[in-house]
Amino acid sequence: MFARKNLKFEALPLPNRSSLSDNEMRIAASHFYETMQTRHSVRDFTSKEVPQEVIENCIRAAGSAPSGANHQPWHFVAIRNPEVKSKIRKAAEKEEQAFYAGGGSDEWIKALEPIGTGPEKPHLEIAPWLIVIFAQRYGEFDDGTKFKNYYVNESVGIATGFLITALHHAGLSTLTHTPNPMKFLNELLERPKSEKPVMILAVGHPAKDATVPAVAKIKKPLDGILTVL
């Protein structure tokens, strides 16, 4: 990605500058909050197709996220191939079955009860797209020399937030899934050992009878998540 000879500092004028008034900022912030209030994680999808261009543009948005030293330590694998999705489901359910059979602590499993999850993951096949997010431990210059990536977890977490928000903005629903361990994804998707899978994101349209757990609507109040000094 990077050429050694081009790595130098150059200051550019700010390409885009917002000039909203205080009132316009208040309105914009309020509207965005209202939009994000309509985002829900769903487990019930339809198989209705989603154009690849939509997925690509949402991943472009994710790729614009800030990252440590601008190394952009992420890779996204978008999957609509039914056979690959089926393999991912089988491997993920194998790990989930081990988790619910005793691999997970009693406390952890108890915490999941109000969410209504279990080892079966049909959405991994029904949703038209799966996006697997990988974190890159290191990168390579154009000459093949390796370089260290910094703040990898933080950077990938921000990019994932961008992606989920972009998909919601495009009218799609998502569900995050993190089977543990996830090393099987490297082999299935032919990704190098230098990359660590961090999440499977199911993407598509919600089924007509889709539901969300009531507890998911309970959010901490502002004074529980904000301190102003």
229 residues of the chain, pLDDT tens digit each: 565 667 788 899 999 988 999 999 999 999 999 999 999 999 999 999 999 999 999 999 999 999 999 999 999 999 999 999 999 999 999 999 999 998 889 998 999 999 999 999 999 999 999 999 999 999 888 788 899 999 999 999 999 999 999 999 999 999 999 988 999 999 999 999 999 999 999 999 999 999 999 999 999 999 999 999 9
pLDDT at 5: 66
For the chain, the helix, strand and coil percentages under 3-state DSSP, each to the nearest 5:
40, 20, 40
Going by C-alpha positions, the residue among 39, 70, 51 that lies closest to residue 173 is: 39
Asked whether 50 and 129 are in contact (CB, 8 A), the reply is: yes
Which structural domains are found in the chain, ordered by start? Answer: 46-208 (3.40.109.10)
pLDDT at 29: 98
Rounded CA-CA distance 45/48 in Å is: 8
Q: According to DSSP H, which parts of the chain are helical?
A: 22-36, 52-62, 82-98, 106-112, 123-126, 152-169, 184-188, 222-225
Beta-carbon contacts of residue 109 (< 8 Å; ≥ 6 apart): 99, 100
